Amino acid sequence: MGTALLTDRYELTMLQAALADGTADRHCVFEVFTRRLPSWRRYGVLAGTGRVLELLADFRFDAEELEWLGRERVVDSATLEFLAGYRFTGDIRGYAEGEVFFPSSPVMVVEGTFAEAVLLETLILSVLNYDSAVASAASRMTSAAAGRPCLEMGSRRAHEQAAVAAARAAAVAGFAGTSNLEAGRRYGLRTIGTAAHAFTLLHDDEEQAFAAQVASAGPGTTLLVDTYDVTRGVERAVAIAGTGLGAVRLDSGDLGVLAQEVRGQLDSLGATSTRITVTSDLDEYAIASLAASPVDSYGVGTKLVTGSGAPTCGMVYKLVAREGASGTLEPVAKASTSKTSVGGRKSAARLLDASGRAVAEVLLNGSDLDGIDPASLDPAGASLRPLHTTLATGGVVEERWTGSGGVLTAAARHAASREELPRGARRLSTGDVAIPTMSRDLH
């Protein structure tokens, strides 16, 4: 199945009108950005870039789709003829996947004819808005976990394809594994999972269930010990698997208190290396509350795949420059109240102080970073880190951003990007964004 009809009707009706009046071939620049972050988010995390580039290859209108468009009279015959040969041949640049972003950050820039670029709006926004929402939530969770692994297990709380996207986005933000097998196959992610309560309930008693699991998976498996009584469950788990039992999982109750009790019990039984993993509707706040508890890993589902209170990033796709009657590129901007945009082609950079800590997001209108005088930067000793990179040229995608390699690259980029933020950026409380966004002419 292609991706061309994963769009809104008005993309095609705009195309039809532009083809008719001769403006369809005008060179245009579109930007993707968000106007604001949720009040409790101090930064966002860009995810889904690699997926956009992968889906771009399938953005074609086949015979069946064209026949349907014609039968439903969505567009006229001239537009159908154009769509039959549609191929995106423009350029895409933007922030590297995994980069943190802020209000007005131009995270993706699409450049080409109006006819080529306008059709990509819905596809790009649907991917980036969802994936970035999940990654933004996931980053807060991995930050709160302070080095303890977070594991994604939210497939049953999302659309089947969204579940794959969520697992990928979580990996970008530092999650160590996923329960979703298709995400593991498609993106080379580590997959995790052993047994649910149903497996214990299937057997006549808990001992039989544990024995069957250990016989099948080995003593290094993770046993779910709270189907009945946790204390008895831990006793049985160690008795059957031995002191080399890999881990026990807690999925209900007061997890902080239970983790303390179970840790003491495991140690007293000689299972000092057996790990404790906790699940049960966790979010970043619950993870932070368990920081002092002897928990070794966190399994996160519903709150992760729904963006932990912010299921979309509010990203928009706006025309910021277009070829005028003179043949030159002219800035254009929307002036609607509370929905303004800033016209013109832009470059973006992060202003870093002498220690490498982020100070501001800088948008450079109509310029690039070449030839900037370091002495003009404030504070003294500061530097600019360019944020835009090439994603596609002439319609040809840069393969380094796609597939399993793209996920690894994005995860590394996120870790480095988050590390350079001011220390207050990781607070979970409501507050201002971590750094301001400014426009500045540095030449």
Write out the E strands in 11-96.
27-34, 44-45, 91-95
Looking at the fold, whether 113 and 230 belong to one and the same domain comes out as: no
Identify the DSSP state of 191: B
pLDDT at position 379: 76
pLDDT at position 372: 66
Looking at the fold, whether 87 and 201 belong to one and the same domain comes out as: no
Task: Supply the angle between the helices 255-268 and 230-241 in degrees, to the nearest 10.
Answer: 40
Could you tell me if residue 139 is inside a domain?
Answer: no
Residue range of the domain that includes 248: 194-295
Could you tell me if residue 258 is inside a domain?
Answer: yes
* Distant-in-sequence, close-in-space partners of 178: CB < 8 Å, separation ≥ 6: 151, 152, 153, 167, 170, 171, 184, 189, 190, 191, 192
pLDDT exceeds 80 at position 364: yes
Could you tell me if residue 429 is inside a domain?
Answer: yes
pLDDT at position 250: 98
Cα 344 from Cα 10, distance rounded (Å)? 24
Looking at the fold, whether 290 and 315 belong to one and the same domain comes out as: no
Looking at the fold, whether 228 and 290 belong to one and the same domain comes out as: yes
- Confirm if 295 and 278 have CB atoms less than 8 A apart: yes
Structure tokens at 13: 């009706």
For residue range 286-302, what is the model confidence (pLDDT) as tens digits? 999 999 999 999 999 99
Looking at 284-395, list the stretches that DSSP marks H as alpha helix, in order from N- to C-terminal side: 284-289, 302-305
Q: Smallest Cα–Cα separation from 315: which of 180, 126, 138? A: 126
pLDDT exceeds 70 at position 132: yes
pLDDT exceeds 90 at position 218: yes
Cα 42 from Cα 421, distance rounded (Å)? 10
Looking at the fold, whether 245 and 316 belong to one and the same domain comes out as: no
- Confirm if 222 and 246 have CB atoms less than 8 A apart: yes
Please name the residue that has the structure tokens 């001992």: 207
Could you tell me if residue 356 is inside a domain?
Answer: no
Looking at the fold, whether 210 and 123 belong to one and the same domain comes out as: no
Cα 355 from Cα 326, distance rounded (Å)? 47
- Confirm if 332 and 320 have CB atoms less than 8 A apart: yes
pLDDT exceeds 80 at position 252: yes
pLDDT at position 335: 78
Looking at the fold, whether 248 and 317 belong to one and the same domain comes out as: no
pLDDT at position 325: 86
Looking at the fold, whether 274 and 219 belong to one and the same domain comes out as: yes
pLDDT exceeds 70 at position 441: no
pLDDT at position 342: 82
Map residue 374 onto helix, strand or coil: helix
pLDDT at position 267: 98
Cα 86 from Cα 339, distance rounded (Å)? 31
How many domains are contained in the chain? 2
For residue range 97-120, what is the model confidence (pLDDT) as tens digits? 999 999 999 999 999 999 999 999
Could you tell me if residue 181 is inside a domain?
Answer: no
Cα 335 from Cα 317, distance rounded (Å)? 15
DSSP structure string for 116-178: HHHTTHHHHHHHHHHHHHHHHHHHHHHHHHTTS-EEE--GGGS-HHHHHHHHHHHHHTT--EE
Could you tell me if residue 22 is inside a domain?
Answer: yes
pLDDT at position 285: 97
* Distant-in-sequence, close-in-space partners of 345: CB < 8 Å, separation ≥ 6: 29, 109, 320, 321, 329, 331, 365, 366
Domain boundary among 270, 295, 320: 295
Could you tell me the pLDDT band of residue 123, with boundaries at 50, 70 and 90? very high
Write out the E strands in 324-418.
329-331, 346-352, 358-365, 383-386, 388-393, 396-397
Please name the residue that has the structure tokens 């002092």: 292
For residue range 66-85, what is the model confidence (pLDDT) as tens digits? 999 999 999 999 999 999 99
pLDDT exceeds 80 at position 442: no
Compare 439 and 232 and report the one with higher pLDDT: 232
Could you tell me if residue 276 is inside a domain?
Answer: yes
Q: What is the pTM of this model?
A: 0.95
Share of the chain above pLDDT 70, in %: 95
- Confirm if 393 and 4 have CB atoms less than 8 A apart: no
Could you tell me the pLDDT band of residue 434, with boundaries at 50, 70 and 90? very high
Looking at the fold, whether 336 and 274 belong to one and the same domain comes out as: no
Could you tell me if residue 101 is inside a domain?
Answer: yes
Map residue 32 onto helix, strand or coil: strand
pLDDT exceeds 90 at position 343: no
Looking at the fold, whether 23 and 98 belong to one and the same domain comes out as: yes
pLDDT at position 208: 98
Mean of all residue pLDDT scores within the chain: 94
Looking at the fold, whether 325 and 411 belong to one and the same domain comes out as: yes
pLDDT at position 273: 98
Alpha carbon of 140 to those of 100, 291, 394: distances in Å?
12, 14, 37
CATH number, residue 28: 3.20.140.10
Compare 397 and 334 and report the one with higher pLDDT: 397
Could you tell me the pLDDT band of residue 341, with boundaries at 50, 70 and 90? confident
Looking at the fold, whether 327 and 428 belong to one and the same domain comes out as: yes
Least confident of 155-164, 376-385, 426-435: 376-385
- Confirm if 441 and 365 have CB atoms less than 8 A apart: yes
CATH number, residue 278: 3.20.20.70
Cα 188 from Cα 106, distance rounded (Å)? 29
For residue range 260-273, what is the model confidence (pLDDT) as tens digits? 999 999 999 999 99
In the predicted model, what is the mean pLDDT of residues 191-201?
97
